[in-house]
Amino acid sequence: MPKTRIIKNRKLSNGDLFAVLNLLDYSTTYLLITTGGEELMPLGASVIDGYGMLGLLFYKLVVTLIVIFCSKRLFTESLWSLLNGAFAGVVIWNNVGLFLSVFFS
C-alpha cells in the first residue's frame, strides 16, 4: 500500500495569493455581468466594451504576471498585504453582489 504524504504548514506565497484573488475576481465579475450586473471599474469596463469577457481575462492575466514579475525586488511584505487585502475586498464585494442578486432581481 502506498504511503500518503501530508503537507504541513503549506502557505501560499504573496504572488500566488495575488494570482488566485485575481482569478476569483474575474470569475465573480463574469458571473455578475452574465446575470445583468455591470463592471464598476472604468478600466475593466472599457476592456469589456472593447474586447468582451475574454479580453478582460487576458488583461487580468497579463497584469497579474507583470505585477508578480516586477514585485520580486520592489514589493515589501506590507505592500503585498495591502494589495492582497484590496483584492480580497473586491472578491468579497462581488460575492455580496451575487448573493443579493439571488434575492433582489
State the pLDDT confidence band at 89, using cuts at 50, 70 and 90: very high
How many of the other CB atoms lie within 10 Å of CB of 67?
16
User: Do 92 and 26 contact (CB within 8 A), yes or no?
Assistant: no
Report d(CA 3, CA 1) in Å as an integer. Answer: 7
pLDDT band for position 102 (cuts 50, 70, 90): confident
Give the distance, in angstroms, between the CA of residue 69 and the centroid of all CA atoms in the same chain: 17
- Among 5-14, 25-34, 51-60, the least confident range: 5-14
Residue in the structure block whose three cell numbers are 462581488 = 94
